[in-house]
Structure 1
């Protein structure tokens, strides 16, 4: 029987979902979540999961970011509530949910570091971090100790895009046609990856595992531009007065850092995009993931179409096993210290 571990699936543990419904800040988007029962209803979730042989899920928090829901102690309480709930689900259903990536709020970096230690003790194999914190870049010095704490424990990072309907043109007030979601989310991921890569993060932590959603977003497709523009031409477009906007000294060529990221197969079933990402990151840096349950079928469509896209590529059996379960299993073992 095929073994397939879905490395990026979203969920609301029961107690967290109950708390979420009491927050006025969640009132707008909550309508969609209420209609997506596999996000919080385990019976519905299990029924859909049973449609796929040998299928299990790594649990990750669902949007919205905790930073958008609460302040101060309220945000700290939410991340603890989420992580307690995720750990409980993994403990009760280990065959369905072999591991979880925990939640963090970076509004208070000290509290986030404390939660890294606590959630690691609960079994977290890593943490989901959003591509910005209320518009603040992840490479700001105040966030560096959080990355240091995660790296020190050999834990991984699930880097999730977050972007609302911000305008696509400066003359407008809101994005139209949901462009902010279709193209804006991959753009946010790509920007965050670039800022982290060029900040020296991988020089400080060369073994840090960062899993990027949607197969590394724009990065694989624009590999040539990265090599050209951030290779020998880095700085040629920047006037001397703005030299402070360029990267500091780095140990490697900029393009080398982007291949240090991991990527998932959550591409809504595009075989050609999957091939592009595999060619760029390599089979040892790609994890099967679907983004369950965010589709009109409550998750079945994304799982089914992701499997179909990989089938179309007719990959060697050893490569397919790496993607389906081998790579994420290795991350789980590393987090466990084995």
Structure 2
């Protein structure tokens, strides 16, 4: 059996929640406190053992808790959260810690650097929008320059956005169906605005196998091509003058296998056709999902093992690609 490394999982600490709640109490924080497995380290180790998972990347859970937070008020909670995740990684060699920055300006840029250079973290998680601002906002340029300099991957986790006027009781539907859309927008903006063109060291791990990007790739390629060929036909063809073919940017995007499968193989196969076996990494989105977070691993690992691809490629997906990306032993 090849080594298995879970490339995206979510965790929370009571200390971080307490600090954030002191400046921005919310129903999302209250909800997290009702999910004990979000904090349970020993239960997480049991989960790894039960599913034959050797190691697990951990990053901070629940982007929604940062919505509406004043960045000046949230920086201390961010530091506490990253310190806690680093501590968990130091105390348990099964876990690979990554930092999270919910905002991308000022002190949060310094915090990203601290996570890598002082806490020894393997990468940085950001969200697919920053309080509704797109990831290619000009004010975020220093952040991308810093990540480019640090030469560590970015995890992009989807975030809620007020695309429509919906009440809080239905946010679960938006998490279910609109999060892949928000991932698509984030990836497309980073490509077509030229962020990835300007910063050649940036590589991205996109949650949920790139949203629906793989399914819509023909539409993405076609729209880009038509606007390049006949820009005079379009009122608003705002695009960077990219120096490379689209595939050069796609090659720097990875998709994790957290497709919430209940036995369906075609979402995984679609993602694999787009990303290729070198750019897919295993994940089951723990601790979320049915059966208290246990279910998806029992479905996704067998799906990978049953793929009609060489065994060497299965090993890449299960651990080889994330080891290469994070320079792990």
TM-score where L is the length of structure 1? 0.88
Q: CA deviation at 1:298?
A: 2.5
How far apart, CA to CA, are the structure 1 residues paired with 2:39 and 2:162?
Answer: 25
1:139 maps to 2:136: yes
- Residues 72 and 187 from structure 1, CA distance in 2 versus in 1: closer, same or farther, beyond 3 angstroms? closer
The question of whether the paired residues in 1 share the 8 Å contact of 2:131 and 2:161 is answered with no
Secondary structure of the residue aligned to 2:33 is helix
* Corresponding residue for residue 272 of structure 2: 278
* Corresponding residue for residue 84 of structure 1: 83
1:303 maps to 2:297: yes
- Residues 24 and 204 from structure 1, CA distance in 2 versus in 1: closer, same or farther, beyond 3 angstroms? closer
User: Counterparts in 2 of 1:198-213, with a 5 A limit?
Assistant: 198-213=192-207
* Corresponding residue for residue 291 of structure 1: 285
- Long gaps (5+) in structure 1: none
- Long gaps (5+) in structure 2: none
Between 1:266-275 and 1:182-191, the stretch displaced more is 266-275
- Residues 37 and 19 from structure 1, CA distance in 2 versus in 1: closer, same or farther, beyond 3 angstroms? same
How far apart, CA to CA, are the structure 2 residues paired with 1:149 and 1:277?
Answer: 29
- Residues 72 and 132 from structure 1, CA distance in 2 versus in 1: closer, same or farther, beyond 3 angstroms? closer
The question of whether the paired residues in 2 share the 8 Å contact of 1:37 and 1:298 is answered with no
* Corresponding residue for residue 6 of structure 2: 6
Secondary structure of the residue aligned to 1:211 is strand
Q: CA deviation at 1:226?
A: 1.6
User: Counterparts in 2 of 1:77-156, with a 5 A limit?
Assistant: 77-94=76-93, 96-97=94-95, 99-106=96-103, 109-120=105-116, 121-156=118-153
Between 1:246-255 and 1:231-240, the stretch displaced more is 231-240
The question of whether the paired residues in 2 share the 8 Å contact of 1:67 and 1:133 is answered with no
Q: CA deviation at 1:264?
A: 0.6
The question of whether the paired residues in 1 share the 8 Å contact of 2:10 and 2:286 is answered with yes
- Residues 73 and 246 from structure 1, CA distance in 2 versus in 1: closer, same or farther, beyond 3 angstroms? closer
TM-score where L is the length of structure 2? 0.90
- Residues 69 and 140 from structure 1, CA distance in 2 versus in 1: closer, same or farther, beyond 3 angstroms? closer
Count of matched residue pairs: 325
How far apart, CA to CA, are the structure 2 residues paired with 1:282 and 1:235?
Answer: 28
How far apart, CA to CA, are the structure 2 residues paired with 1:20 and 1:41?
Answer: 20
CA-atom RMSD in angstroms: 2.5
Runs of 4+ more than 6 Å apart: none
Deviations 1:175-205 (A, max 9, x none): 9594312220000000111100001122212
Secondary structure of the residue aligned to 1:231 is helix
The question of whether the paired residues in 2 share the 8 Å contact of 1:262 and 1:281 is answered with yes
The question of whether the paired residues in 1 share the 8 Å contact of 2:129 and 2:161 is answered with no
Q: CA deviation at 1:165?
A: 6.9
How far apart, CA to CA, are the structure 2 residues paired with 1:179 and 1:100?
Answer: 30
How far apart, CA to CA, are the structure 2 residues paired with 1:12 and 1:182?
Answer: 21
How far apart, CA to CA, are the structure 1 residues paired with 2:196 and 2:107?
Answer: 24
Instruction: Choose from 206, 226, 229 the match for 1:232.
Output: 226
User: Counterparts in 2 of 1:163-202, with a 5 A limit?
Assistant: 163=160, 166-167=163-164, 173-174=166-167, 178-202=172-196
